[in-house]
Amino acid sequence: MRKLGVGVLGVGEMGRRHAENLRRLVPQAQLVAVADVAVERARLTATELEIENSYGSLEGMLECKGLDAVVIATPDKFHASAVRAAAAAGKDILCEKPLALTLTDAQDLLEAVSKAGVRLQVGFMRRYDPAYAAAMKRIESGEIGVPVIFKSVGRDKDGPPLSAYQPNINGMLFYTNTIHDFDLARWLMQDEVSEVHAYTTVAIRPEVAQFGDVVASVVNLKFGKGAIGNIESYAQAAYGYDVRTEIVGSKGSILIGSFNRMPATFLSAQGSTQMIADHFLTAFADAYLAEIRDFVESILRDRVPRVSGEDGLKALAIAVAAERSHLGSKAMKVSLERLTVVS
């Protein structure tokens, strides 16, 4: 059976996991190369994963024999140029979220990918998480009736060190964290977001404001068919990595995440009354694996990826609207048909 030759660009925390999964747990794929501007990191990763090829740039890796597809896991700012280059070289692409940092870039990428005739998947791996996937099946079967309210919480354990903000290579909270929930909102509610109103705070860490970022946010949503929603994101929850989502419908509710009958739950950095994951790589280990397996299978079977470039663009449009709402302290209307964001 033909194996898909895959290269991973950027072997930091996320790219390293994709490379390990491809090397060890996806029999239909062959990890043929890794690349990173940190050349030594690329070389070490290749040695540890027992593969021959490591490169200091995407351009170098694109020359590698047997390379069919590229996984892009560089910081956000470099996604657009990498997708463009990989598409121009005729490679299929799995790009980490966010697809790009501007709508213009994201639209250009969709055109470039379509012109090149390659496939593009965006890294919204929560869709592959067993609990989220099961929830979606029940929603589709009509078990909770018509979805009315979407609620989601996404909290990281530790905020990034200030030095991570300085190079300005990643998007702010809406692009790095909340974008997962923006995608879930569209997917689970089976509707498009039509209005966004964001509230943000830097109260416990005012230093991040100079980098255009925030520590926590709540974003209220309206959906096209009349449903409403609310998403909370928090960059430094201290007690753990905490992701929960609820979809409330006309006949019932589905809660993804922890829930029990204890009268109260106490969570702190010192200890919690509930078991809690402390990192996304642990909490979503199954999802990352299912995601990359599905990417490889989509390409080998010549089918459209389940999480498309269009999904990446639409979630990005909601993030752009949320950022504008945060900057202008007002609600923004979003048209995902025409890709416009106006107050």
Ligand X SMILES: NC(=O)c1ccc[n+]([C@@H]2O[C@H](COP(=O)([O-])OP(=O)(O)OC[C@H]3O[C@@H](n4cnc5c(N)ncnc54)[C@H](O)[C@@H]3O)[C@@H](O)[C@H]2O)c1
Q: Interface residues with ligand X (CB under 6 A)?
A: 9-15, 35-38, 41, 73-76, 78, 96-97, 123, 125, 176, 280
Q: At what angle do helices 285-300 and 13-25 cross, to 10 degrees?
A: 60
* DSSP-assigned letter for residue 40: H
Q: In the complex with ligand X, which residue's Cβ is closer, 177 or 200?
A: 177
* Residue closest to ligand X when measured from CB atoms: 12
| Residue among 267 and 285 whose Cβ is closer to ligand X | 285
Collect all residues with Cβ–Cβ distance below 8 Å to 320 and sequence separation of at least 6: 102, 103, 341
Shortest separation between residue 261's beta carbon and ligand X, angstroms: 31
Q: Which is nearer to ligand X, 223 or 288 (CB)?
A: 288
Amino acid at 199: Y
Report the residue number, 61 or 189, with the smaller CB distance to ligand X: 61
Enumerate residues 6+ apart whose C-beta is below 8 A from 239: 157, 267, 268, 269, 272, 276
For ligand X, which is the closer residue by CB, 60 or 224? 60
Supply the minimum distance, in Å, between the C-beta of residue 287 and ligand X.
8
**Rounded Cα gap, residues 66 and 63, in angstroms:** 9
Please report how close the Cβ of residue 147 comes to ligand X at its closest, in angstroms. 24
Give the angle subtended at the CA of 247 by the CAs of 246 and 250, to the nearest 5°: 140
Nearer to ligand X, 78 or 239 (CB): 78
Instruction: Please state the closest distance from residue 211 (CB atom) to ligand X, in A.
Output: 15
Q: From the CA atom positions of the chain, what is the Rg in Å? A: 20
Gap between the Cα atoms of 280 and 323, Å rounded: 24
Residue 15 C-beta: closest distance to ligand X, Å: 5
CA distance 232 to 220: 9
CB of 128 to ligand X, least distance (A): 10
Q: Residues 89, 16: contact at Cβ < 8 Å?
A: no
